[in-house]
Amino acid sequence: MSFLRILEMLGVAVFAISGALAAGRKSLDLVGVVITATVTAIGGGTLRDVLLDRHPVFWIADTANLWVIFAAALGTVIYSRRWPPPARSLAVADALGLALFTISGAQIAQAAGLGGVVVVIMGTLTGVAGGVIRDVLTAEIPMIMRRGPIYATACIAGAALYLLLEMVIPRDVAAVVGMACIAALRLAAILWELTIPVFTLGEPRNRER
């Protein structure tokens, strides 16, 4: 089993947990929990595979991903009934999934022979899309669109760092450093409210309809 596949499977598991926790916040029923966990866990990789024309998409090619998701979702429900999860558990699961998926997505785009800017975009998209779909389906404003601690920025920085390092150090080491960068940036951003400047459109010169 390759390093890349292990990364992806781990990402699937933590995103499934983050999806199940988000569903618990919304008091969904058990099938809703499994659906939210599944969509969060496979959304990014599915979009990546469809855009890159990689068929069969990863969870059809390897249904072990689905069983991991079901187990992670049910495990989260059972665990949470006994021990309420610590605060920020959703944020931590989400940050880890972001890190794992962004780098695995970047590596897959790289393997498809794509250039730097597309590799960074595909990595970021693989990382954020599952959470975006989860937020849209549960009628939340997607995290990438909220003002607040940096989110997609961490993915972009980590994917770019990975691409740079990968030219001078072994690929798997560069991948681990890139992932650590993403998770650390995202968690630091939440702890210390790291943000980047906001663009607010001034009053238009005439009244806007």
Binding to a copy of itself, residues 118-147 (CB under 8 A): 118, 121, 132, 136-139, 141-142, 144-145, 147
Interface with a copy of itself, residue 168, by CB under 8 A:
no
User: 124: left (phi > 0), else alpha (psi -120 to 50), else beta?
Assistant: alpha
Please identify which residue in 6, 50, 71, 111 interacts with a copy of itself, judged by CB under 8 A: 50
Q: How many residues bind a copy of itself (CB under 8 A)?
A: 75
CA 177 to chain centre: 17
Nearest Cα to Cα of residue 131 among 44, 198, 195: 44
Q: How far is the CB of 57 from a copy of itself (least distance, A)?
A: 6
Interface pattern 171-200 for a copy of itself (x via CB under 8 A): -------------------x----xxxxxx
> Should residue 35 be labelled a site residue for a copy of itself when binding is judged by CB under 8 A?
yes
Q: Which is nearer to a copy of itself, 168 or 197 (CB)?
A: 197
Is residue 183 left, alpha or beta, with left meaning phi > 0 and alpha meaning psi from -120 to 50?
A: alpha
Peptide bond between residue 56 and the one before it cis (omega within 30 degrees of 0):
yes
Site residues for a copy of itself, 66-125, by CB under 8 A, read 66-67, 77, 80-81, 84-91, 114-115, 117-118, 121
Q: Where are the alpha helices (DSSP H) in 52-196?
A: 58-61, 64-82, 89-111, 116-137, 152-165, 171-192
Nearer to a copy of itself, 25 or 169 (CB): 25
